[in-house]
Amino acid sequence: MKSYVFERLEMVQIATLHLMVGLPCSGKTTLARELERKYSALRLTPDEWHIRLFGQDYGENMTESTEAKHDARHDTVESLMWDLAARVLVLNVDVILDFGCWVRSQRDEFRARAKELGAEFKIHFLDVSEAELLERLQTRNKQKTDTTFYIPEAKLKEWIQIFEPPTAEELK
């Protein structure tokens, strides 16, 4: 009597860290929500958590002290989100970090973190002109939602100056 052994070949699925890159009002969160549905991924958007935990603590007439407090809170939220993201990636579930990552060093750090976990890495860059960003900012600020911060126009203009768009090499 012959016996046949059939080995089951399992497809190895590797989770992907999707990094949203762009300035406020570029459409990152809108795209992140679409990717969340498309990939059945965990979407982590810091503004949503920050506002829920600490309220609307950003806006016009901020002092250096209140802005520093906001920034420290935001850094804490992003750190907690990364801890969650790392665990979820290890469980083979895609994660979308809706962080913005305005400078290359931040993007390189997340690329290295993904590699260390054995996850794939993809940047989703939303390149929007300054004029369009400022127009969208006016609309955003009028809406006053529970999930986005009011951003003074002067701040957005400041951030535009420090933003480093991803290079073609980064987007590969």
| Rounded average pLDDT over 118-133 | 97
Backbone angles phi and psi of 121, in degrees to 5: -140, 135
Q: Could you give the CA distance from residue 22 to residue 136 in angstroms, rounded to a whole number?
A: 14
What is the per-residue burial (b if ≥16 Cβ within 10 Å, else e) of 6-23? Answer: eeeeeeeeebbbbbbbbb
| Rounded average pLDDT over 105-119 | 97
Domains and CATH numbers, the chain: 16-39+47-162 (3.40.50.300)
**pLDDT given for residue 5 in this prediction:** 52
| Rounded average pLDDT over 131-152 | 92
**pLDDT given for residue 172 in this prediction:** 85
H or E segment to which residue 104 belongs? helix 104-117
**pLDDT given for residue 12 in this prediction:** 61
**pLDDT given for residue 1 in this prediction:** 53
Residue 120: strand pairing partners:
16
Q: Could you give the CA distance from residue 82 to residue 77 in angstroms, rounded to a whole number?
A: 9
Answer whether residue 6 shows pLDDT above 60.
Answer: no
Cβ 122 vs Cβ 32: under 8 Å: no
Write the pLDDT tens digit of every residue in 17-69: 999 999 999 999 999 999 999 999 999 999 999 999 999 999 888 999 999 99
Q: Could you give the CA distance from residue 154 to residue 165 in angstroms, rounded to a whole number?
A: 20
**pLDDT given for residue 9 in this prediction:** 47
